[in-house]
Structure 1
Amino acid sequence: MQTQRLLPALMAALLLSTAPSMAAQVFNRVSSFPVALNNPQAEATSSEIITATEDGNTLVYSDSPAGGIGFVDITDPKAPKALGFLALDGEPTSVTIIGGKAYVGVNTSESKVNPSGKLAVVDIATQKIDTSVDLGGQPDSTAHNEAGTLVAVAIENERDEELNDGAIPQLPAGYVVILSVKDGVLDPASLKKVDLTGLAAIAPEDPEVEFVDFNANDEIAVTLQENNHIVIIDGKTGTVTANFPAGTVSLENVDTKKDGALKFTGKMEDVAREPDAIHWLDNDRFAIANEGDWKGGTRGWTIMNKAGDVLFESGPSMEYIAAQMGHYPDARNKKGVEPEGLEVAKLGDDTLIFVAQERSSLVAVYKDTGAEPEYLQTLPSGIGPEGSVAIPARNLFVTANETDLRADGLAGSHVMIYERAEGEANYPQIISDLDEEGRPLGWAALGALVGDAEKPGILYAASDSVLSAQPSIYTIDATAKPARIIKKTVVTRNGDPAQKLDIEGITLDGKGGFWLASEGYTEKLVPHALYHVDADGKILEEVAFPAELLANEVRFGSEGITAVGEGDDLTLWIAIQREWKDDPKGQVKLLAYKPASKEWGAVRYQLDTPAEGAWVGLSEITAHGDYAYIIERDNQLADKAQLKKLFRVKLADLQPAKLGGELPVVAKEEFRDFIPDLKANNGYVVDKVEGFGIDANGVGYVVTDNDGVADSSGETFFWSIGEVK
């Protein structure tokens, strides 16, 4: 057992390392490939395990839902092209390449109790199956040695998680298969079955074999995930030469509750690592990603040696960085960021370690030093990075992201490509500081933005209902790069974090405090309301929407608030996202509220026409100079995104009429199209451009809402559009 106590100084050093100097070699995403392009007729398609041909120009990935493998041409990594899809009559689980052949593990099991599978050999040039070998069980990971003369396959024979709460043993037992390759031809007669029963202390009769990897001496490192055990096999003879438990970790100051709040104050005692991926660093040391799949999962990764000694343990440091980047998955945090995949490769003089985090949708990059690794940066990676591959000769790194949410109108699976070069990292674009105890100022879902009236580069944002138990106002220093959240102020009612808020708008009150607009949801007892708070987040006044307005309410309410005038002449303007029941189709209300007189009024705003199957609504309103600037967007993302724009309306035209009567329609003028800004990040275009604020120097800033990493890549983009004139 190893206990991790993370010092604030260490975490501060990790935070600073997210902003490399100009001379540093950094990875930046250069393209993103939707894998549905390879199989457009499939209802669901996914890239899971991925590898590259020896020339580095073609990617091959396993696609379990579609039942085959996909091919991608990356001759130009900035413009990947679909090369096709090959069905394999089963569920492919992994792929490795030797020469011109892809060796694919294919699960053909009819049930968990009657597992079966094969190793299919595919000619990459013709995309045809050369041969296949019966493996006798359900394969998971595949790997080959440096010489290309041996292939190892992890036969997992996975447990049924619905049976007896997933407890093991559940026979039949897993094992490892080793096959020889001679002159590029697989020899089925060479098949060796390596028995791994009787080794682990946990369910020794049922080894749950997960991942295999060769070192330069043809030794195979194997993880038995649920058994929390590691085995070393001589690949030439099939002999087990070492085995030992993966051990446990005790964690302090971690978030352990799915409670709508990011509180890094919990503990986890003696948690089994239960490693998934394993990769050799040299002939003695290897790294493991401690995902957990049964009772364990320690939220980090570890370096060990063949003697079973722990040489480095990350503890929660990696997920602290994810939390500082707004990627901590509070809604699914049993395994924290869920480290699952690993890649190790030498690029230039550096041996780099890439740790893929499925639930945060990030990949952390470290440099092997022979001792404690050096943290370099963290990359954004679509939704659910599963596999990855480095292509050293081309300074490229590639991730395969398995999650396909197209059935829900969200993003599909993507392959993402990164290039290493001198320069600055494009991501993260906003990151939080640590608190006084060295813990992250947790944040997510920034859906509102306003600039400070006096301090250039200082802005305030607010989180929406994703953090329902901890509604907060964040102070942002946009003069830093990346921009930094330097303070978190929790909104309180009677001294406790306020409940039943969904903050979608924030503006200054002119007295050091704020007005907040909360989007209501009557079915969940969340009122449509405005909240006046002081500088410490204390609610001073709550203003409910009037009855004549609520009589026609729908789910989509306040999506921005701005203040015009001061003193008794102060008017708050609130953007309503979509049409309510009394609005003509394609028109939404801009509400006006005067705190001094408590009078309500409104005008109407004409929306652009949505594309088929989409809707269009408002996301922000910000007054500056002679105009109110309004974000208008559709609810589409990726290749379907059509409308993410900033319009403006003359303040002189904002003459509110009484509610219930005829409302004037204001004229709008397009000011900026945000889609080119979003495409410049080289991922898929996100849907929620939700915050726009203008600082004391008249500089405009934009922020996207990441939905708290729920069915989302978690990526938050924060950028300036320059002086707003």
Structure 2
Amino acid sequence: MTRFGRTVPLLGLSLLSAAVLSACGGGGDDDDSTSPPPVTTPVSVSLEKVGSYESGVFLKSAAEIPAFDAASKRGFVVNAQKGALDVLDMSQPAAPRLIGQIDATAVRAGASVNSVAVQGGLVAVAVQDAVKTNPGLVAIYRAADLSLVGQVAVGALPDMLTFTPDGKTLLVANEGEPSDDYQIDPEGSISVIDVSDPAKPVARVADFSAFNGQNASLLAQGVRIFGPGASVAQDLEPEYIAVAPDGKTAWASLQENNALAEIDIVTARVKRIVPLGYKDHGLAENALDFADNDGENPAIHITTAPGLYGMYQPDAIAAYQAGDGNTYIVSANEGDARAWGEGTPAYFGDGAGGVGDPSKGFVEEWRIKHLVHKDGFLRRADDDLPAHLAGLAKGALLNPSVFAWCGAVAGNPGDCRADDQLGRLKVTWTLGYQTHADGSPRLFNQDGVADPAGDRLMYDRLYTYGGRSISIWDANGQQVWDSGSAIESFLASADCKLGAARNVPCADHFNTGHDETAQLDARSSAKGPEPEGLTVGRLGDKTLAFIGLERMGGVLVYDITNPRAPMRMDYLNTRENWTQAFSEDEAPDAAALSRLGDLGPEGLHFIAPKDSPTGEPLLMVGNEVSGTTAVYRLKLTY
């Protein structure tokens, strides 16, 4: 580990010459023209932490997205706190050492780095403009000497980027988020960049303009198009890209829209938008813990909730080819709400108990107990009442034919509002209420009777964020497998242990947060363990997925060789202090932060044995809360 810029080795690394692991999907490391020798497929895989670089910076996203160059043995880590790219010497993975920096302001004043991808000795960097709604750029550097090779303009807020397997094309997701006050909303897009001559990259734009005017059709299919006044192209916000092994097709996760976009790389065209559907939490296999009870009498209670649905809303996705010859997409179903202007008081009220100004933002997330209170919405004016919701009605009800299980009756949500029931769960108010054919809300009176003169919405369904799961989808975007309740159930079980020594029961800190004291059940009313980062690699005949749990922390390893029957292989969480009190207001110093270990895994990068400095497979993990870049080795059992 490092402390105050010094690097302290953890464990020595032994060579593992029998293993060969190659990256799957786009954005891999240097290609080797020599085919590796045949290898034996391991029976099991587990993780062991062997090294760490510590920035000493807490909760400032000082370590987000990692990448690695095999020839120079250098790691590249997005440091959002600096707005730059940290360069690490990883010739000794047990002791990664900071040796340089790529500063985005050298190519554009006030700019910052969002993401990185490395292939063939080139380092591609997504650069955000100082004004995030302005077009950004992609800059290309040489890994060996950090010299700038070329650059090209792309769309607004370029983020995740990845190479095609042959290294000749680079794709970047231009998220196009609106300004915080929602006054400017650029279009989302995917830039397809020819980097066959990296000194003169040429970008084409795969945009969504062809879908403008198809709002009604997309909504009917299940694509969330809901930004106020936004065209389809403005509303769609590409988050992450996965490239097919043949390099001809890519998919972009449209996280807030709960959909995937399929992209033809050859023509730089978005072929279609595929809705991902909703997860029925009324089914036993999709049970969840939806109540945190606000810190009072916290408990693990994984159960069903009829009428509650999860929006998958994946963040990271990856593509791989299975044994049947077909391409599949694996997704980390984090979930994400739109919350623009949440720090703007005028959006939530006029200061005198009235409705806020909808032109000052857009916030879709609200707790159920506020949404369906018998006294209506205005009781939350000047607090957290979204102005757009206040413009729809004066209150909302739960349909008793759906929510009787938690106590709802006509005109009264009953105990469904209780903190130990659905009350504290965060949902979107934009979905689930009854509407007329034209999409306008069907209104009810306070007794729950349909009445054109009424002022209440009637919710038949409630939609929460994320699937608390990983999923596998076929090339057409149809789900072939989902982990259901398996992640939360495992974290609640006696089999799950925390810490590098694996000696702390996970159940003692189930669904904890990543930026404060580890409080049992703290995140159950939000998105639970929050699977976010993901990378995929191949080991012999096995395909492995590595998933970072943003809130609970740690990395899950799944064998996804059979896309219809994945198996969990390991879980390692190297947060070490689970009792110390800390918060954003009282950040730990570098020494205390070192003792805390790794918090908030954001990005993961797999290093194949042929590219590894030690000849064994490694995993890099950027932890945004602790500001650490952790290095793990894969321990293989045959």
1:118 maps to which residue?
137
**In the TM superposition, what is the alpha-carbon distance from 1:132 to its structure 2 partner?**
2.1
What corresponds to 2:126 in structure 1? 105
Distance in 2 between the 1:186 and 1:150 partners? 13
Report the alpha carbon displacement of residue 274 of structure 1 after superposing the two structures with TM: 0.9
Measured in 2, the distance between the counterparts of 1:213 and 1:137 equals: 20
Q: Deviations over 1:136-174 (max 9, x none)?
A: 31111101100001000000012456759xxxxx72220
Residue 192 of structure 1 deviates from its aligned partner by 3.0
Q: Contact (CA 8 Å) 1:222, 1:230: kept in 2 or not?
A: yes
Supply the distance in 2 between the matched residues of 1:126 and 1:388 (Cα, whole angstroms). 24
AA partner of residue 617 (structure 2): L
Correspondence for 2:51: 31
Within-5 A mapping of 1:682-697: none
Deviation (angstroms), 1:56? 8.0
The answer as to 2:224 corresponding to 1:210 is no
Tell me how far apart the structure 1 counterparts of residues 484 and 336 of structure 2 sit (CA, whole Å): 18
The reply to whether residue 63 of structure 1 matches residue 79 of structure 2 is: yes
**TM alignment of 1:312-461, pairs within 5 A:** 312-324=481-493, 325=496, 326=506, 327-329=510-512, 330-333=521-524, 334-370=526-562, 371-381=564-574, 382-393=598-609, 394=612, 395-404=616-625, 412-422=626-636
CA distance in 2, matches of 1:240, 1:87: 32
Higher alpha-carbon deviation: 363-372 or 222-231: 363-372
- State the secondary structure of the residue aligned to 1:171: coil
Read off the aligned partner of 1:309 and give its amino acid letter. Answer: Q
- Among 284, 291, 296, the alignment partner of 2:334 is 291
Is the strand fraction higher in 1 or 2?
A: 1
Match 2:251 to one of 212, 221, 246: 221
Letter in 1 for 2:628: H
Flag the 1:191–1:336 CA change in 2: closer, same or farther, 3 A.
same
Shift, 1:300, TM fit: 0.6
CA gap of 1:360–1:106, structure 2 versus 1, over 3 A, is: same
**Using the alignment, how far apart are the partners of 1:192 and 1:208 within structure 2?**
14
State the Cα deviation string for residues 391-433 of structure 1 (Å, max 9, x = none): 12243333433434xxxxxxx3111111122469xxxxxxxxx
Secondary structure, aligned partner of 1:135: strand
Query: Is the Cα contact below 8 Å between 2:89 and 2:99 reproduced in 1?
Result: yes
Q: Match for 1:209: what amino acid?
A: P
Matches of 2:557 and 2:73, distance apart in 1? 23
1:397 and 1:58 mapped to 2: Cα distance? Answer: 13
**Alignment partners' CA distance in 1, 2:469 and 2:161:** 23
Counterpart position of 1:149 = 168
CA contact (8 A) 2:204 2:268 kept: no
Matches within 5 A, 1:486-635: none
Matched residue, 1:676:
none
Aligned to 1:181: 195
- 8 Å contact from structure 2 (residues 67, 117) kept in 1: yes
**Letter paired with 1:228:** N
Matches within 5 A, 1:123-138: 123-138=142-157
Q: Greater relative contact order: 1 or 2 (C-alpha under 8 angstroms, separation 6 or more)? A: 2
- Note the alpha carbon deviations across 1:643-670, whole angstroms, 9 max, x for none: xxxxxxxxxxxxxxxxxxxxxxxxxxxx
CA distance in 2 between partners of 1:174 and 1:94 (Å): 17
**1:43-70 deviation line (CA, Å, top 9, x unaligned):** 9561111111134822111111211101
Partner residue, 2:432: none
In the alignment, which residue of structure 1 is the partner of 2:456?
A: none
Measured in 2, the distance between the counterparts of 1:216 and 1:43 equals 36
Name the structure 2 match of 1:14. Answer: none
Contact 1:398 1:415 in 2 (8 A): no
Conserved 8 A contact 1:348-1:392: no
Residue 128 to residue 256, structure 1, CA distance change in 2 (3 Å):
same
Larger radius of gyration: 1
The answer as to whether partners of 1:179 and 1:187 remain within 8 angstroms in 2 is no
SS in 1 for 2:177: coil
For 2:289 and 2:176, how far apart are their aligned partners in 1?
Answer: 33
Residues 141 and 153, structure 1, Cα contact 8 Å, conserved in 2: yes
Aligned equivalents of 2:194 and 2:177: distance in 1?
25
State the distance in 2 between where 1:242 and 1:397 align. Answer: 36
Three-state SS of the structure 2 residue aligned to 1:120 is strand
Tell me the equivalent position of 1:256: 290
8 Å Cα contact 1:86-1:128 kept in structure 2: no
User: Tell me, what secondary structure is at the counterpart of 2:201?
Assistant: strand
Work out whether residues 341 and 356 of structure 1, in 8 Å CA contact, stay in contact via their aligned partners in 2: yes
Q: What is aligned with 2:579?
A: none
Determine whether 1:47 maps to 2:47: no
Please list the CA deviations of residues 72-106 of structure 1 after superposition, one character each: whole Å capped at 9, or x if unmatched. Answer: 22222222222222221222111111222210001
More displaced 10-residue stretch of structure 1: 377-386 or 253-262:
253-262
Cα deviation, 1:245-297, whole Å, max 9, x if unaligned, reads 01110225321122231232444522211111110022521111111101421
Distance in 1 separating the partners of 2:72 and 2:291: 43
In structure 1, distance between residues paired with 2:309 and 2:61? 38
Determine the C-alpha separation between the residues in 2 that align with 1:187 and 1:236: 19
SS class of match (1:321): helix
Distance 1:222 1:281 in 2: 14
The one-letter amino acid paired with 1:192 is: V
Separation of aligned partners in 1, 2:635 and 2:553: 23
* Alpha carbons 2:195, 2:202 under 8 Å: kept: no
Normalised to the residue count of structure 1, the TM-score between the two structures is 0.50
Point out where structure 2 has 5 or more consecutive residues left out of the alignment: 1-41, 106-110, 226-231, 338-427, 429-464, 497-505, 513-520, 575-597
Question: Which ranges of structure 1 fall in alignment gaps of 5 or more residues?
Answer: 1-21, 165-169, 405-411, 425-725
Matching residue's letter, 1:307 = N
